[in-house]
Amino acid sequence: MDLSYTRTEEAFRAEAREWLREHVPAEPLPSLETAEGFAAHRAWEAELAAARWSVVSWPEAYGGRGVGLARWLLFEEEYWAAGAPGRVSQNGVQLLAPTLFDHGTAEQRARVLPSMATGETIWAQAWSEPEAGSDLASLTSRAVRTDGGWLLSGQKTWSSRAAFADRAFGIFRSDPDADRPHRGLTYLMFDLRAPGVTVRPIGRLDGKPAFAELFLDGVFVPDEDVIGEPGQGWRIAMSTTGNERGLMLRSPGRFLAAADRLVRLWETEGEPADSALRDRVADAVIGARAYQLFTAGAAARLPTGAESSLNKVFWSEYDLALHETALDLLGADGELTDGAWAEGYVFSLAGPLYAGTNEIQRDIIAERLLGLPKGRR
């Protein structure tokens, strides 16, 4: 049992650190939830990709470096410690790409992945519907067979960054007569600018406009954009939801950097006598270390699928507590909405909701990890 890095890992870390020191923008980019910020972040993705830092864990053929989990984690630590911008490409990189690696065709990978790696194509997720969130299997948007492809109709919602994204991926009901609700679903990719697509931005809690709902009216999707077999969409989607819940979405590096900033904030703004607030700062430090070490263990032991539910509840509640502590440390200024902590706070509020609500995750933990009986939700 050890926590030391190999020479190869240390060399990789040094290379990443050096590059980031020279290239991370001195001034923070505008929020990626705005049109201006989206464009700036897209340009940053291109810069990362040119030096092959945008998708380090992918095979070299698609623009990556083919590194394993240990080096990916090191890269993330360096990335966030350097104060580098948030990743506008993350829906595609973390959700669609793993699905294509597992279930896509060679043609699809060659066509889709390179432009995803450079930020030329930004992907949005189109899973949730107004009546299908936690109960995703109840979705009703349809895919109807047509000549050479499918026609999509219905409504998708809560689609992060869809207002400015280029393409989307999601699951659709292709066989309404299937005997079980999660059968007869098909997983496919579509163009957000195709005829029949209407994108309506939904202001988030912070008023930023990149969140959106999608109205689809006979949108044509060619057969080549179906992932896996038609009717197998649920199985394919579920096989990669662990990526969304688990560490691919929230690397420990992000929280280590945030906890570090919080300690600095405590040093400048904290009242030494305020032991209650000091304890919360300490808990943020402890939580970041716990998550880092939990991940180090998971990286070495091939975690089970249900473990990503532990991971998801932990990071989402941790992230919120960390930001609440920062706002309390800021005192009256914590109410202002223009700072980095305030933006992070609003983002953290969504953590317990998306990627499967924490109630659903706790059900999974209780049933699959503890062996408690299934019950009505």
Partner 1 sequence: MTFLPTDEQRAFARSLDAMLTAADTPAAVRAWAGGDPGPGRALWGRLAEAGVSALAIPEEYEGLGLLPVELAHAFVELGRHAVPGPAVETVATAVLLGELARLGEPGPAKRLLPGLASGERTATLTIAGVETVRHTVPYALDADRADTVLVVRGEELWRAPGHGPVRVSADPARRLARPAPGGELLAEGPAVTVAAGQARRWAMLATAAQSLGVGLALLDRTVAYARQRAQFGTPIGAFQAVKHRLADTLLALEFARPLLFGAAVTMTPGDLAAAKVATGEAGYAAARTALQIHGAVGYTEELDLSLWLRKARPLRNAWGDPATCRATVIGAYSRTGS
Q: Could you say whether residue 299 binds partner 1 (CB under 8 A)?
A: yes
Separation of alpha carbons 78 and 9, rounded Å: 12
Q: Is 233 helix (H, G, I), strand (E, B) or coil?
A: helix
Any catalytic annotation for residue 244? Answer: yes
The string of DSSP letters for 318-352 reads: HHHHHHHHHHHHHGGGGG-SSSHHHHHHHHHHHTT
CB of 347 to partner 1, least distance (A): 22
DSSP 8-state secondary structure symbol assigned to residue 169: E
Residue with smaller CB distance to partner 1, 189 or 288:
288
Residue with smaller CB distance to partner 1, 109 or 289:
289
CB of 190 to partner 1, least distance (A): 36
Q: Which position among 58, 211, 291, 341 is part of the footprint of partner 1 (CB under 8 A)?
A: 291
Angle ∠(332,313,252) on CA atoms, nearest 5: 75
**Contact positions with partner 1 (CB under 8 A) in 331-360:** 359
Q: Which position among 286, 333, 337, 340 is part of the footprint of partner 1 (CB under 8 A)?
A: 286
- Region of residue 163 (phi > 0: left; psi between -120 and 50: alpha; otherwise: beta): alpha
Q: Which position among 275, 331, 336, 340 is part of the footprint of partner 1 (CB under 8 A)?
A: 275
Q: Annotated catalytic residue: which of 244, 269, 343, 367?
A: 244
Q: Could you say whether residue 279 binds partner 1 (CB under 8 A)?
A: yes
Separation of alpha carbons 213 and 192, rounded Å: 11
Helix (H) or strand (E) holding 278: helix 275-301
Q: Could you say whether residue 294 binds partner 1 (CB under 8 A)?
A: yes
Q: Could you say whether residue 235 binds partner 1 (CB under 8 A)?
A: no
Q: How far is CA 348 from the centre of its chain?
A: 12
Name the pairing type of β-strands 149-159 and 185-191.
unpaired
Q: Which position among 120, 175, 283, 328 is part of the footprint of partner 1 (CB under 8 A)?
A: 283
Q: Give the chain's length.
A: 377
Q: Which position among 202, 290, 321, 349 is part of the footprint of partner 1 (CB under 8 A)?
A: 290
Catalytic residue positions, numbered = 244
Q: Which residues bind partner 1 (CB under 8 A)?
A: 1-6, 9, 70, 260, 263, 266-267, 275, 278-279, 281-283, 285-287, 289-291, 293-294, 296-297, 299-301, 310, 313-314, 359, 361-363, 365-367, 369-375, 377
